[in-house]
Amino acid sequence: MTLASDAALAPAVEASLARRKDAEARANPLLVLIVTGMVVALGSLGFVAVAPNRILSGKAVPLWSAVEPGSALLVGALVVALGVAALVRSGPWRDRMTAIVAAALLIACVAAAGHAGSLVAADSGPIARTSLGAAFWIVAAGSAFALADATGRLAPHPLAQAAIAAAVVSLLAALAFSGALSDLSLAREFANRQSVYGAEVVRHMALVGGALAGALPIGGVLGVVALRRPGWRKPLFGTLNLVQTIPSIAIFGLLIGPLSALAGAAPFLRTLGIGGIGAAPAVIALTLYGLLPIARGTFTGLASVPEPVIDAARGMGLDERQILWKVSIPLALPILVAALRVVVVQLTGLTVVAALIGAGGLGSFIFQGLGQTATDLILLGALSAIVLALIADLALRSLGAVLTSGRPS
Amino acid sequence: MIVLDRLTKHFGATTAVDQLSLTVPTGSICALVGPSGCGKSTTLRLINRLIEPDGGRVLIDGTDTAGLAPVTLRRRIGYVIQSIGLFPHWSIARNISTVPELLGWPEARIEARVDELLDLVGLDPAQYRERRPHELSGGQQQRVGVARALAADPDLLLMDEPFGALDPVTRDGLQAALIDIQARTGKTVVIVTHDIDEAIRLASLIAVLDKGRLIQQGAPRDLLSRPVTPFVEAFVGGPHRGLRLLQVTPVGERTDYGNVTSGEPIAAEATLDVALERMVAGSIDRLPVRDRAGRQGTLSLADVVAREVTGP
Amino acid sequence: MSARALPSTGGIHHLAGRPAIWATLAFLAALALLPFSDPLFHALFPELQRPLYTRASFVDLALSHAALVGVASLVVVSVGIGVGIFVTRPAGRDFAGPVDTLTAVGQTFPPTAVLALAVPVIGYGGAPTVIALIAYGLLPVVSATIAGLNAVPVAPVQAADGIGLSPAGRLLKVELPLAAPVILSGVRTSVILNIGTATIGSTVGALTLGSPIIEGLSGSNPAYVLQGAILVGLFAIATDLWFDELEHALH
């Protein structure tokens, strides 16, 4: 009987295997799209923009005339290689090839831009500026995305992804330290502000840290309160949600008045740094923003702990504090870390706005750049803020993965 | 000895437990049975003060539990629930050692105790100590649940429908294990169940509850042969009451010791349902009986179906 | 931000139980009365020469702000839901993973940084603001649409197939209605976020309710800041509360 049914099934099994093979043999449509975009961009758009000075807008120069033929060929060859990777049979082998080629392309593309900058500097003197052009951004973003997508399939574990990201970033950093990129306008802006750059990054992180120092304990307590008193949930989360709704700049602005009045009434506060503008209103506003995700994450996390586990713990004689710290919090940890990640990323973004009320941070580069129409200064601030948010995100993802390893899914 | 003295608990307008008084002798298994919502689980949770009573007292070996800190009280009482409630983030060993650790036992003693308990509940310590709860089957998890409850060697074990979520075969095995463990350790056990067969099998004392009140208490056989109300009669048996009565009546009671029959004898301590099964299986209406003293006799089908002797 | 507080259900038909209406009335009242509040702000900020923002009328600011967010949101909703539907269909399944990665990574970008990045490409004014609002606002809508469609229970979908609905009919009559609450919450997140980001749009030359705030901050005029903050705060809260009503109506 088994034999008979096996025989009957065989054609169907064969057909499904054939379908699978067909799917495996298929090209990666997204990668095809990315590579097509790169080819079109390199062919029709400027790879860099060259301007006689900092403020004037530049003239687009395509890749082949921006760098020596060897560099252009290398970038072109890597684009072609990525195209080949898009067409080969799917599987780990393709993803490995995609990841390696995409990483090489990303680095080669940055190096080519640096090379273009050096050629311009040698040609037109140190005042001329070389900015990154549309083709550069498309190739760089495309290869970064292809790399992220391929590593996402190859190594889904956040720690592995963090390691790959760190490897690529350190190669780019080595390139930057070698001086190969120093003639790019972005690097010049960085060099001009090297003395304050580190301080602003630290300040940015300090603002986020200060807000966390306030929001974590308060939000945590509010989350526990919401858990223990169901009647408070709606008004509590409703109010916190209202705070999140109000645009950040409005809250920053609204805090200036009361705080400067406070500092005026009690001048010693000013010596503590509490005044109408600066860090104090920024940290207060950021703390307020952090409350909802933390309170909600705490509530959701603790509420996710199975009731029987709590019942058993209580029945065995754990007191309420032991239940919270030994049972509930460890079990809620994945959700708590996820909430922390959301908060840190959100606050890192909101802190950019804090520069408008004199709190400093990476936003100050952006708004200075906007004020001076210095696009590369804008870029310096914006890219730094993005990188900082991405690092925070990846770091907390990795932390979450470490803390929850060996858990039932 | 556990004494429940006029225990009362209200939840809002409803009275969950109403003036309930019950005495559970030391070393016995007492089953609280009744339909859902009858107050049996609430009664159990009043004993370890997971719920505080609105009236009445609980005395354990003469001590009023109201005078103890709830946490201290609970560490002296084993507690097993239907959903098991093992801590999913801890190993089996750490789960079992929860209360000994709270009590500050030395590490060596805890380790020895964990192995001893895993042996007791029929799990190989070497194999299971370091496993996580999710790697175990439901039945194995509940064995760990029982081991955890016994960890600090409590005199009293409270079990809230402990085997209710398990399949019949697993449940059967765990019931046998519990009978064995209780016989070896002499613990006093109070078990809540809605399964009257489980109560009959495990308990020496059954308390039938309805709407928060104790309707009848007694040995399984008393309840089956002399239910005091139609509710108890319906609950303990309904149409199956006669069959269940066979399960609690020893063969020896119906044996005619003057009469000897040939064949493989059945023990006088066996119950009538086993004897009936053998008669049906062998298509016979008489079985030889031998008691512990070596006396021989005969059990006839007529004796099996004879009317239960009522009254003292 | 998925679970938000619902308005009190007590007496939904009474005005008192509808905070959305109250917030809207408060916003409109502020808009109407602020031009006449010169004496009030003189009293509040005696040290300021001109305590009332007059560079543009508050009504114009509000209309411009609403238009920026409205245009961006229209694009975001149509494109975002479209992309979400596409990657959950068999034809678009290959793109589901990458789109997921893109929305996850993209949402970690600071909105202000996205806004700033639009300037080197497009220049100053309302256009880069709208582009940034679209780029950033798409992410929550796409991810909510995918999440909502993926969370539709299997049983009704199989039932729809069973009674012979076409794939399009199944999508329109079964999947989208069941996914609607999740999609709506994504749209809500996107719109509220965009109201806030549009406020910052004043720094790149867009005319919004943030203009008095930015000008007040750079010109040390706290009265301007207060006027802008009140208006944009009420605008955002009123919009959010209307989403509450919408979610309520959907249930």
pLDDT higher than 50, residue C14: yes
pLDDT higher than 90, residue B111: yes
CATH architecture of B2-240: 3-Layer(aba) Sandwich (3.40)
Q: Which other chains touch chain C, taking contact as 3+ CB pairs less than 8 Å apart?
A: A
Residues C35-59: pLDDT tens digits? 888 888 888 888 888 888 888 899 9
B257 touches chain A (CB under 8 A): no
Name the one residue in this structure whose structure tokens are 């589901």: C96
pLDDT higher than 60, residue A15: no
Token digits for A332? 């809620």
Q: How confident is the model at residue A88 (pLDDT cuts 50, 70, 90)?
A: confident
The pLDDT of residue A183 is: 86
Q: How confident is the model at residue A75 (pLDDT cuts 50, 70, 90)?
A: very high
The pLDDT of residue A194 is: 86
Residues in chain C with CB shorter than 8 Å from the CB of A366 are 112-113, 116
**Whether A350 and C110 lie within 8 Å, measured CB to CB:** yes
Q: Do chains B and C touch (3 or more CB pairs under 8 A)?
A: no
pLDDT higher than 60, residue A275: no
pLDDT higher than 80, residue A4: no
Mutate to test the interface with B, among A310, A316, A319 (most CBs of B within 10 A): A316
Q: What are the boundaries of each domain within chain A?
A: 18-177, 194-403
End-to-end CA distance of chain B: 26
Helix %, strand %, coil % of chain A (to 5): 80, 5, 15
**Whether A356 and C203 lie within 8 Å, measured CB to CB:** yes
Q: If you average pLDDT over each of A84-88, A185-189, B127-131, which comes out highest?
A: B127-131
pLDDT higher than 70, residue A370: yes
- Quickly list DSSP for C17-71: G-HHHHHHHHHHHHHHHGGG-HHHHHHH-TT-S--S--SS-HHHHHHHHHHHHHH
Quickly count: other Cβ atoms within 10 Å of residue C152's Cβ. Answer: 18
The pLDDT of residue C15 is: 60
Alpha-helical (H) ranges within A125-229 are 134-154, 158-177, 185-192, 194-228
- Report whether A283 contacts A211 (CB < 8 A): yes
- 3-state class (DSSP) for residue B256: strand
The pLDDT of residue B82 is: 86
Q: Do domains B2-240 and B249-304 have the same CATH topology?
A: no
The rounded distance, in Å, linking the Cα atoms of A29 and A23 is 12
Torsion of Cα atoms, B231 then B237 then B238 then B243, to 10°: -160
Percent of chain B with pLDDT over 90: 56
Quickly count: other Cβ atoms within 10 Å of residue B246's Cβ. Answer: 18
Q: What phi and psi values does residue A126 have, to the nearest 5 degrees?
A: -75, -15
The rounded distance, in Å, linking the Cα atoms of A202 and B114 is 51
The distance from CA A392 to its chain's CA centroid, rounded to whole angstroms, is: 7
Residues A114-165: pLDDT tens digits? 999 998 888 888 788 888 888 999 999 999 999 988 888 887 788 888 888 8
Residues C143-200: pLDDT tens digits? 999 999 999 988 888 888 888 888 888 898 889 999 999 999 999 999 999 999 999 9
Give the number of residues written for chain C.
251
A153 touches chain C (CB under 8 A): yes
**B188-193, strands of its sheet edge to edge:** B77-81, B156-160, B188-193, B29-33, B205-210, B213-218
**Whether A322 and B132 lie within 8 Å, measured CB to CB:** no
The rounded distance, in Å, linking the Cα atoms of B191 and B169 is 19
Radius of gyration of chain B (CA): 22
Name the closest residue on chain A to residue B69, using Cα atoms: A317
pLDDT higher than 50, residue B312: no
The pLDDT of residue A269 is: 58
> Burial code of A248-279, b = ≥16 C-beta within 10 A, e = fewer?
bbbbbbbbbbebbeebeeeeeebeeebbbbbb
Nearest to A318 among B76, B89, B102 (CB): B102
pTM: 0.81
The pLDDT of residue A3 is: 41
| CB pairs < 8 Å spanning A and C | 155
For the purposes of burial, counting CB atoms within 10 Å of the CB of A133, is it exposed (0-12), middle (13-18) or buried (19 or more)? buried
The rounded distance, in Å, linking the Cα atoms of A187 and A377 is 10
Percent of chain A with pLDDT over 90: 43
**Whether C217 and A357 lie within 8 Å, measured CB to CB:** yes
B197 sits in which H/E element: helix B196-202
**Whether B86 and A309 lie within 8 Å, measured CB to CB:** yes
Token digits for A381? 């601030």
Give the number of residues written for chain A.
409
Mean pLDDT of chain A: 85
- Report whether B47 contacts B77 (CB < 8 A): yes
Give the number of residues written for chain B.
312
Residues B38-96: pLDDT tens digits? 999 999 999 999 999 999 999 999 999 999 999 999 999 999 988 888 998 899 999 99
pLDDT higher than 60, residue A8: no
The mean pLDDT of A285-305, rounded to a whole number, is: 93
Mean pLDDT of chain B: 90
The pLDDT of residue C8 is: 45
Q: What are the boundaries of each domain within chain B?
A: 2-240, 249-304
- Report whether B113 contacts B100 (CB < 8 A): yes
- Report whether B74 contacts A316 (CB < 8 A): yes
- Alpha-carbon distance values, B168 to B41, B142, B164, B172, C232 (Å): 22, 14, 9, 6, 65
- Contact residues, B window 66-105, toward A, CB-based 8 Å cutoff: 70-76, 79, 81-89, 98-99, 102
Nearest to B85 among A311, A317, A330 (CB): A311
**Whether C214 and A249 lie within 8 Å, measured CB to CB:** yes
The pLDDT of residue A7 is: 45
**Whether A312 and B48 lie within 8 Å, measured CB to CB:** no
Name the closest residue on chain A to residue C240, using Cα atoms: A245
Torsion of Cα atoms, B46 then B49 then B52 then B58, to 10°: 60
Beta strands B213-218 and B205-210, pairing class: antiparallel
Residues in chain A with CB shorter than 8 Å from the CB of B102 are 316-318, 322
CA distance to partner chain A, nearest, from residue C229 (Å) = 4
- Report whether A259 contacts A280 (CB < 8 A): yes
Maximum alpha-carbon separation in chain B: 66
Name the closest residue on chain B to residue A314, using Cα atoms: B50
Token digits for C81? 């839901």
Nearest Cα neighbor of A240 from C185, C209, C3, C227 is C3
| CATH fold group of domain A194-403 | MetI-like fold (1.10.3720)
* Sign of the CA dihedral with A273 first, then A274, A278, and A282 last: positive
pLDDT higher than 70, residue A407: no
The mean pLDDT of A170-188, rounded to a whole number, is: 88
The rounded distance, in Å, linking the Cα atoms of A88 and A25 is 7
The pLDDT of residue A153 is: 82
Quickly count: other Cβ atoms within 10 Å of residue B193's Cβ. Answer: 24
Residues C67-85: pLDDT tens digits? 999 999 999 999 999 999 9
Residue with the larger pLDDT of the pair B247 and C238: C238
The pLDDT of residue A293 is: 93
Mutate to test the interface with A, among B75, B102, B158 (most CBs of A within 10 A): B102
Q: How confident is the model at residue A274 (pLDDT cuts 50, 70, 90)?
A: low
Mutate to test the interface with A, among B48, B50, B74 (most CBs of A within 10 A): B74
Out of 3.40.228.10, 3.90.1280.20, 3.40.50.300, 3.40.30.10, select the CATH number for domain B249-304: 3.90.1280.20
Q: How confident is the model at residue A112 (pLDDT cuts 50, 70, 90)?
A: very high
CA distance to partner chain A, nearest, from residue C172 (Å) = 27
CA distance to partner chain B, nearest, from residue A315 (Å) = 6
Quickly count: other Cβ atoms within 10 Å of residue B12's Cβ. Answer: 6
Torsion of Cα atoms, B149 then B151 then B156 then B161, to 10°: 10
The rounded distance, in Å, linking the Cα atoms of A375 and C204 is 12
